[in-house]
Amino acid sequence: MIDRSLAPEIQPFHSFRPQAPHVDTLENGIPLYQFHNETLELIHLQLDVRSGSMYEPKKHLALFTYGLLKGSHPHHTAAEMADLLDFYGSTFDADIYLDGVCLKIVVPKRNLPQLLPTLVEMMTTPSYRQEYLDIIRQQRLQALRNNLKKNNFVASRLMLQALLGDQCTAGVPASEATLNEITTDDLHRYHRENFCADNLSLYVTGQLDDATSSLIRKHFGGIPRGARQEGLPLFQMPADHTPLLNQEVEGSMQSSICLAMPHISYAEEMRTPFKVLSTLVGGYFGSRLMQCVREKLGYTYGIFSSSVYFGNQSIFSIQSDVDAAHTQESLDACFSELKRLQEEPVSHEELQTVKTYMTGSVIQELSNSVSYMSKFAFWKNQHTDHTILQELWNTIQRTNAEDIMEMAKKCLTHNKFTQIIVGKKL
């Protein structure tokens, strides 16, 4: 009998060898990536659209154009589509990002022939209805009013506004006016110009026999071609060079703080060493900032750092909700920890813990074909593929304390950050 009180022996990890997907190109030019999984009876389809808020000519177009698809089938109402999806045990979701839109479909394999033609028709020839637009608009208006009362939401808005400005709609704050400006004509026009084979990539996993693959190729291969969206331009960041943005919220018990800076593209060699540094700073529960601002000082329940990649750039940020009475002390503690990383070598034990955590996180992302497919789609959007994994692991293992110090000196200096505080007035 296994003794559950004893931790299993840790096995060293040496290499990543994920299986490459089968790559095909449909008649209309859509690349198709198939991840065969004999044990998965649900067919997962992910259709990536080169769209998103950074491509919009008008605020909210991607959000409404793709968010309203389920209620825009040319021959079925929203209620009928909901019943149809439920009847066939299926789901359809749209995720809107800065530089892309992800349409996710999950259908039992046996039901794919009945449902897929309807879903492709819905995505290809939607009929946007005023009544549904009005309903979703009212929901978004109410959500906006509620979110504007949340300090962290306001801080995130200020971050995008400060870094991107009016160079794209992602930097333009949502308002009741921008929401009310959207019309069904806008949605039809944007869909026509944007949703075409030249802007799509298709990823599929499950029990992909010849009949299933043929069915997928047939229906997605009929999507018309069109004008391909150009790659994102290189944005001038920060657009607002004000080093401190401080918005007071009277009576607030907490302040939302955000330290943000423009950073490198996913393709640059220093991305992986910087990821090790970022994880040390605030990328996991044992990070420097968690130990200092949460565990030692008790100013917050949580603090984290992250990078958002788009085009040939990214935004690196440190964010937290802190005790309003200790807003300045929290900021000082953040910069103190960044300075310490520039001046003091990280111990071997701490660095090894971070490396083990990062390796485990990558393994978890590849633990099943659905998560692997999603990760692979992200890589393709960043102009790479699964072959990056071994290089990633090798770089993580090579990164040492001196590399961390040099990276911190180069990237995490005080003057690179825009400081955003919503809550207490400093």
- Encode pLDDT of 13-26 as tens digits: 777 778 899 999 99
pLDDT of residue 328: 97
The string of pLDDT tens digits covering residues 118-135 is 999 999 999 999 999 999
- Confidence at residue 225, expressed as pLDDT on a 0 to 100 scale: 96
Give CA–CA dist 52/99, Å, rounded.
5
pLDDT of residue 231: 84
The amino acid at residue 199 is N
Contact 234, 301 (CB under 8 A): no
The pLDDT, as a whole number, for residue 59 is: 97
Q: What is the mean pLDDT of residues 369-378?
A: 95
pLDDT tens digits, 281-315: 999 999 999 999 999 999 999 999 999 999 899 99
pLDDT, position 9: 79
pLDDT at position 1 over 80 = no
Q: Which of 7-16, 268-277, 372-381 has the lowest mean pLDDT?
A: 7-16
- Report the pLDDT value the prediction gives residue 17, as an integer from 0 to 100: 78
pLDDT at 230: 86
pLDDT of residue 7: 80
Distance CA 90, CA 404 (A): 47
- How confident is the model at residue 19, as a pLDDT? 85
Burial of 130 (0-12, 13-18, 19+ CB in 10 A): exposed
Q: What is the pLDDT of residue 5?
A: 87
Q: Which of 51-55, 161-165, 179-183, 257-261 has the lowest mean pLDDT?
A: 51-55
User: For residue 420, what pLDDT is reported?
Assistant: 98
Pick 230 or 13 by higher pLDDT: 230
Return the pLDDT at 386: 86
Percent of the chain with pLDDT over 90: 86
185 versus 367: the higher-pLDDT residue is 185
CB atoms closer than 10 angstroms to residue 142:
10
CB-neighbour burial class of residue 65 (10 A; exposed 0-12, middle 13-18, buried 19+): buried
- Residue 12 is predicted with a pLDDT of 72
- What pLDDT is recorded for position 45? 98
Name all domains of the chain by residue range, CATH numbers in brackets: 22-220 (3.30.830.10), 244-423 (3.30.830.10)
> pLDDT-derived band of residue 189, with 50, 70 and 90 as boundaries?
very high
Q: What is the pLDDT of residue 161?
A: 97
Give the pLDDT confidence of 56-115 residue by residue, as tens digits.
Answer: 999 999 999 999 999 999 999 999 999 999 999 999 999 999 999 999 999 999 999 999
Which whole-number Å values give the CA distances from 147 to 59, 61, 257, 303, 305, in the listed order?
A: 18, 20, 16, 20, 22
Q: What average pLDDT does the segment 352-364 reach?
A: 91
> Where does the pLDDT of residue 6 fall: very low under 50, low under 70, confident under 90, or very high at 90 and above?
confident
What rounded mean pLDDT belongs to the chain? 94
DSSP letter for each residue of 254-270: EEEEEEEEEE--TTSTT
pLDDT the model gives residue 73 = 97
Strands 101-108 and 418-423 turn out to be: unpaired
Which H or E run includes 377? helix 369-381
Instruction: Note the pLDDT of residue 3.
Output: 83
Say which DSSP state 421 is in.
E
